[in-house]
Amino acid sequence: MNEKIKLVTQVTLENGTVYYLYSDGNLYTQENGKLAKVQNLTDGNKKIIEKIMSLYKPAKTDVIDRDITGKTKKTEEKVDVEIPEM
């Protein structure tokens, strides 16, 4: 495997199969002790990928409504702040 490809995450499904997501964007599984790329994007595989990706949605924290979608807040008047002395 190319040395620059790095492990992103591992996911164990209910049936015990472990999937490995690598930084090349591909899924791999272990076959005969070696990593093998999941080649065919069948409907079954797509469902697995969807299921895997659904695991990574952030849970609630104590920060509510903070804009983390890349948009800026609605314009508010900015507060002037002094530059502190050294």
Partner 1 sequence: MDKQYKDYLIGYYYRHIEGISMPEQMKPLLVEVLLRRANEFDLSSQDIYQDMISLCNNLKKIEISKMPKGYESAAGVYMGQENTIRIAPKYLRQALNTGDYETLYEIFTHEVYHALCADENGQDRLVSYNKYCNQYNATLREAIVEKAADRCVFSRNPNEKTAPYLHQNKFGYSDITFITDAIEATYGVTEKAFLKHAIMGRDRLVEFLASVSNEEKAETYDFLDRIEMNYTRLHGALYGKPAQTGKVLEQTLTDTMSSMYIICEDQMQKRIINQPIEDFNEADRCALDFKYDHNKLVTAMEHGINGFGYRTDTKKLRENVEGRVASFRDATISRICDFSEVTRNKENFESKEEAIMLMRWARHGNLWNYDRESLEQAGVQVEFAKMFSIPDTAKDSVERMDFNRTWDNQYIIYNTYELARDQMETSKMKILEFKDRLVDGIKNLFTKQKGLNPPSEHKNYINLQNQSGFMELTPEELERFNIGVQSVLKEHSTSQKGYKNPSQERDDNII
Report the residue from 7, 35, 36, 41 that binds partner 1 according to the rule CB under 8 A: 7
Return the structure tokens found at 64: 């509510």
Q: How far apart are CB 42 and partner 1 at their closest, in Å?
A: 22
Tell me, by CB under 8 A, how many residues bind partner 1.
Answer: 38
List binders of partner 1 among 19-78 (CB under 8 A): 21, 23, 53, 55-70, 72-73, 76, 78
Q: CB under 8 Å to 81, separation ≥6 — which residues?
A: none
Q: How far apart are CB 62 and partner 1 at their closest, in Å?
A: 5
How many CA atoms, within 13 angstroms, populate the side-chain half-sphere of residue 79? 2
Report the residue from 1, 2, 9, 48 that binds partner 1 according to the rule CB under 8 A: 9
Taking the CA atoms of 20, 3, 57 and 45 in sequence, report the sign of the dihedral they define: negative
